[in-house]
Structure 1
Amino acid sequence: MKSFEKDAYGFLLKFARKTKGRPFSAEQVTLAAKDAGVCPADMRHWGGIFNQAARDGYIARCDKPFRRVMGNGTLTLGWVAR
C-alpha cells in the first residue's frame, strides 16, 4: 500500500472510532486529514479509501444526509463506524 493510502486508511479508521457510532460525513474526515497533513494530490483519491474501509467492514453508509461544503451544498449520505 502506498504511503498516502496507508496514512489515509489509518486516519479514517481512527476518525470513525472516535465518532462512537455518530454519523459523520466524508468531508469531515478529509478536511480533518488535510489539517493533519494527510492529503493526496487529488482529493478524489479518498473515494477508494472509503470504499475499502466499507468493504473491510469498518464503516457503513447511514441514512443521515450531510450538506457538502466542497460540493456546492449538495446532499450526500454520511457514514457510521461499525
Structure 2
Amino acid sequence: MVKEIERAGIPVVHMCTVVPISLTVGANRIIPTVAIPYPLGNPALEASEEKTIRRKLVVSALKALETEVDGQTVFED
C-alpha cells in the first residue's frame, strides 16, 4: 500500500521494527522503531521516558516526510 500512496504523489513514512521487510515491500522512507510488540514505545519504561521515545520517532518521521528521496532511504538517528 505504501508504494501505491507514493505513486499518487503523497509522501509516506513506513515506521517498522524489521527494516528488511520494509525494503522488500518497496517503502521509500523507512524509520526503524523500537520492538515488534511495541514499535513506538516501551510500556516497561516510565511515562516520561516513553514519551521521549515516541516524540523522537514522530519528529524523525516528520523530517523524513520533508526530505526528497530517490529510491529507498532508511532514516536513522
Does the TM-score normalized on the shorter chain lie above 0.5?
Answer: no
Under a length normalisation based on structure 1, what TM-score does the superposition of the two structures give?
Answer: 0.27
Query: Of the two structures, which has the highest relative contact order with CA contacts closer than 8 Å and spacing of 6 or more?
Result: 1
Under a length normalisation based on structure 2, what TM-score does the superposition of the two structures give?
Answer: 0.28
Kindly indicate which of the two structures has a greater share of residues assigned to helix. Answer: 1
